[in-house]
Structure 1
Amino acid sequence: MDKAVISESHPLYMGMYRGATSESALREYVESADLILDIGGVLFDDVSTGHGSARLDREKIISIHPHHVEILSNICHINSQSHTYSPVWIGDVISNLIENIKPISSKKFPQPSPITLEKNASQAITWQTLRATMQNFLEAEDTLICESGLSVAFLSSLLLPKNCSFHNQTLWAAIGWATPATFGAALANPQRRVILITGDGAHQLTANEIGTMGRYGVKPIIIVLNNGIFGIEEFLAGNKSNIYNVLSPWNYAQIPHAMGCENWYCQKVTSLDELNNALEKARLHHNGAYIEVILTEKIPPALSETIYAQRYQLLPIDTYLSSG
């Protein structure tokens, strides 16, 4: 949820640390650091630790909260004892850090790279090809809103262009949040192009907001990923094809016109060429745009048995602590 708080075009930006899901060079750099400053009191939940795969030494972590500082934070070990100092204002701490820390060369840092398509990539729309396509589509000053679930799991690793903002709702994973959030963001700053990426399951919960967008004349680009299921639920349950995760089939690309958005550009796509063509037209269209993407790869491979067991605490907690 902190993505893009610091500009990802900054020369010292290294990327996002999320345990085993991080880039290997970044993970090694963070986990071998002499000191880790947790500025703001980051919530180290299952998403931000790569499903509990973070390897952060608590004795090297200082958490700077808004009004206190905590040393030996308990983000990795449940029974750890921390030390808290208050009142300490976060603004004072950061000001003194800026004054006393010497700048170092960015050459010492891992350098993130934009995601690219592999040579001779097929026309299949998979999670990997979709990610590379969206990387190429984003422009400076865009506002990207990413729905909870598989959308944010795969697309939060995009390297954002200059002044591109990013919003998601991972804390409570309230699916359906992103569609009305897109409406709010478009109202708040009509000069920025707001881009929504949402799964079809989440979108079905709040799709009525499309009609409200048309009523107030906002002009988002909405990309609905259609795999016909509650994808994140299937993924987290081991891809067992549970019948209760199957969605009612909607003709998504027809929704905006049915809700009164007569001047919107609407398109259904089934291949990468069709997707790129639709994105190009959406960018140039002077009104809202709505693209239904039929995913060739319905769902990514299931979590490993180890991560699955750890996520749902199928074994005693000591098992996980003893393994690091």
Structure 2
Amino acid sequence: MKATYKKYILNFKRPSGTSRGVLTTKETWFLIIKEKDKYGIGECGILRTLSIDDRPDYEEKLKWVCENIHLPKEELLEQLMEFPSIQFGLEMALQSFEAENPFELFPSAFTEGKASIPINGLIWMGEEAFMLEQIQQKLEQGFSCIKLKIGAIDFEKEIALLKSIRKKYSAEEIELRVDANGAFAPEEALDKLQRLSELDLHSIEQPIKQGQYQEMTKLCKETPLPIALDEELIGVFSVTKKEKLIQTIQPQYIILKPSLIGGFKGTQDWIDLAEKYDVGWWITSALESNVGLNAIAQFTYTKQTQMPQGLGTGSLYTNNIQSPLAVKGEKLTYQSQETWDLNSIL
């Protein structure tokens, strides 16, 4: 069995704004395992400045994995504790290699094309007119759950934008989620959450920057609007520390990005703890290509959750990997009759 890796740059169709800046490209690495005519493929994707494994020795670690692919899976994953995206890529590649079909990692009614996954529509930050245009498009496509990134333009303009949606659509018609990506200062956060709560929102992701445990604990206790932890989960490696974080902060929700928190195993650890402490959760992609998105979607389907997931990122790129994944209305589907095109990878 031999393993290799290949770097791949994904190009956004249009610049996509977050509170950490505007994205035009996204780096990812494909991990490929081969033995005779059998192969498996995984994706190791980092988000620069956000992933805990955005470090100078990243490719060195990928090379190490390829040289040591013969080691037991558990030993490899243990050695990759501080590289959650490589953990995920390795888990994916091994599962792909062992599967009857390398792209059906978790065979189910989803991969047979008989079931779908409800997803939210994602609205990127930008000028007010651009955000309104995106919202209109998502509503026309049939989405009943919309997630807006906030915190980059003037807060009053964002409030006005949300108010304009609520004038047209009630909370029963459109579920609104907002993601601040840590943009609020702790001293102003509660006031802003109070104002946002008046707009019948579902939740807010990461209102303040991660690592401010005391402030986040206080916010989750006093908030009039449910808070979902996202970046807060990054870099929390041991199950003991994960449990301490959930017990201490007591969030209303947690958001799980397998590439950022240690793949299927890391995600399952968080799900088990969330359910133990009665914390809601949902899974989202971290801007992977369709290879990673496919694995995340199949894993998510096995959890049988009815809550809209954050898996609608497949159409963001001009050079994504052609796949059977498709968004139909507000559902992610797997069109099993469609094929994968791996010419740019293999």
Q: TM-score with structure 2 length normalisation? A: 0.26
* Rg larger in structure: 1
Higher strand share: 2
